[in-house]
């Protein structure tokens, strides 16, 4: 950093912190829902959608009662979707894309047609890989993905129209191209910032999205059936999570201005990049790695409990006082995504010779809520969220940490697009909430009198 600006910022930073801090009492005084959260942590109701439902509560005699978590895609429980895919031994992400976009399950003919369209669109425009990705590499793949999305605007002959037909066409193209942009962004980063050999493989039209990802990021293109199946499951579980999650809400807010699709989706990518959202799985995995390194016996529950207490006391790991991967704004008794992913994670752990590590994860999952409740003096139910096991799954697949959040984006792009289409067609009003100013009135003083 330039020394002059560095010194200037050091001189002013305390003032900046002081004038930008608003005491919590002010939020209570004006009944402002901080973070658009109710007092119980649930989200403030700000919209309606038919795309996805995140269920964790039921109303009983006018009061909210905790319920087992459920995730619903267009009226169909994701558990039923996953069980159907597994029973029929086939990949499910493409079918989920069809369901979220078109509102119904496809027939085999309809699904084959949709998959064929996606396959034909996976390649990037001519010159895009060389000019946009290889000539301007980024140390962060999410940053590269956002830039790539914005540049696609220049390759679109009709980028600005918000006509439904145009929105659908752009959405399908983005769903198809996201895996390729992420894979190439990773290869460029590994080469230019990691000193590794550069591998640029072409997508294969005969492979599913999950298979193509493994094919594109691995030098030898090889993967096992179990690896592809569990990555497909992760994509299915991350494809949609209601309109209130931060990145989808960002996409809806930006879409409500009737700006172009690329600007709206780039905003969603920027939101997902944050460690409190899409980057949370890396935090959870790093925390669990830290526990493994500082607990001598992974079977000693008391030693694990003591170290988790140190984490909550801000004496260990990142000293933030948080047990990452536990707790959710809606789910309290269970997160259905965690339940489904955990089953496959155990199977993968056995295949990879990491069952001892998986059992350690299970122990932390069980003990963590006890430590949290004791420390906070509460009987509140908290459960492991999907971030708790997703990092383990990706790591067991040999996928580097810098790809965790980009893979989240590869899945969630379909949810973003479905919500963008619904926002533009259904709401037709710019999202414009209110902020109350609590600043005190001041008089202007001439500069020579200050």
Measured CA distances, 287 to 179, 295, 388 (Å): 28, 12, 10
CA angle, 157 as apex, 409 and 213 as ends, to 5°?
A: 25
**CB contact set of 100 (below 8 Å; sequence gap of 6+):** 51, 52, 73, 74, 239, 240, 414, 415, 418
Q: How far apart are CA 334 and CA 336, in angstroms?
A: 6
CB-based burial, 274-286: b 16+ in 10 Å, e otherwise: eeebbbbbbbbbe
Q: Is residue 115 within 8 Å of residue 140, measured between CB atoms?
A: no
Q: How far apart are CA 124 and CA 178, in angstroms?
A: 10
* Residue for token pair 């010159």: 127
91, exposed or middle or buried, with CB in 10 Å at 0-12, 13-18, 19+?
buried
Q: How far apart are CA 398 and CA 393, in angstroms?
A: 9
Q: Where in the sequence numbering do the catalytic residues fall?
A: 328, 387
Measured CA distances, 52 to 64, 113, 218, 386 (Å): 20, 24, 33, 17
Beta bridge mates, 70:
55
Q: Which tokens belong to 428?
A: 């037709």
- Chain centroid to CA 334: how far? 19
Q: How far apart are CA 368 and CA 329, in angstroms?
A: 17
């Amino acid at each position: 950093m330039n020394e002059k600006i560095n010194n200037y910022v050091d001189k002013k930073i305390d003032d900046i912190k002081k004038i930008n801090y608003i005491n919590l009492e002010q939020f209570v005084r004006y009944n402002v829902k901080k973070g658009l959260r109710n007092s119980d942590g649930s989200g403030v109701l700000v919209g309606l959608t038919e795309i996805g439902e995140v269920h964790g509560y039921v109303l009983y005699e006018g009061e909210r009662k905790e319920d087992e978590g459920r995730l619903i895609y267009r009226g169909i429980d994701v558990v039923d979707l996953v069980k159907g895919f597994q029973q029929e031994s086939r990949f499910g992400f493409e079918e989920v894309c069809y369901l979220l976009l078109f509102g119904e399950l496809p027939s085999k003919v309809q699904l084959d047609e949709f998959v064929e369209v996606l396959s034909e669109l996976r390649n990037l425009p001519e010159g895009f890989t060389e000019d946009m990705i290889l000539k301007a590499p980024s140390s962060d793949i999410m940053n590269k993905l956002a830039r790539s999305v914005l540049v696609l605007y220049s390759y679109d002959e009709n980028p600005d129209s918000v006509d439904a037909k145009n929105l659908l066409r752009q959405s399908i193209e983005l769903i198809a191209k996201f895996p390729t942009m992420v894979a190439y962004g990773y290869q460029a980063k590994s080469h230019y910032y990691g000193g590794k050999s550069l591998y640029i493989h072409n997508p294969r039209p005969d492979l599913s999205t999950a298979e193509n990802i493994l094919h594109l990021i691995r030098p030898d293109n090889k993967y096992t059936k179990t690896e592809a199946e569990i990555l497909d499951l992760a994509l299915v579980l991350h494809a949609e999570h209601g309109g209130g999650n931060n990145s989808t809400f960002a996409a809806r807010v930006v879409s409500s201005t009737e700006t172009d699709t690329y600007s709206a989706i780039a905003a969603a990518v920027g939101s997902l990049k944050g460690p409190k959202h899409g980057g949370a799985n890396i935090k959870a995995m790093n925390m669990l790695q830290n526990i493994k390194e500082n607990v001598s016996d992974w079977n000693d529950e008391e030693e694990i409990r003591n170290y988790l207490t140190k984490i909550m006391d801000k004496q260990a790991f990142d000293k933030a006082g948080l047990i990452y991967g536990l707790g959710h704004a809606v789910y309290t008794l269970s997160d259905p995504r965690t339940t489904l992913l955990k089953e496959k994670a155990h199977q993968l752990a056995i295949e990879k010779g990491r069952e001892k590590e998986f059992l350690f994860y299970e122990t932390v999952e069980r003990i963590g809520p006890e430590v949290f409740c004791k420390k906070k003096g509460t009987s509140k139910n908290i459960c492991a969220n999907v971030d708790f096991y997703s990092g383990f799954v990706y790591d067991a697949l040999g996928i580097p940490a810098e790809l965790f959040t980009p893979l989240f984006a590869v899945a969630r792009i379909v949810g973003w697009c479905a919500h963008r289409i619904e926002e533009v067609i259904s709401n037709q009003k710019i999202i414009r909430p209110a902020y109350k100013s609590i600043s005190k009135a001041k008089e202007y003083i001439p500069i020579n009198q200050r």
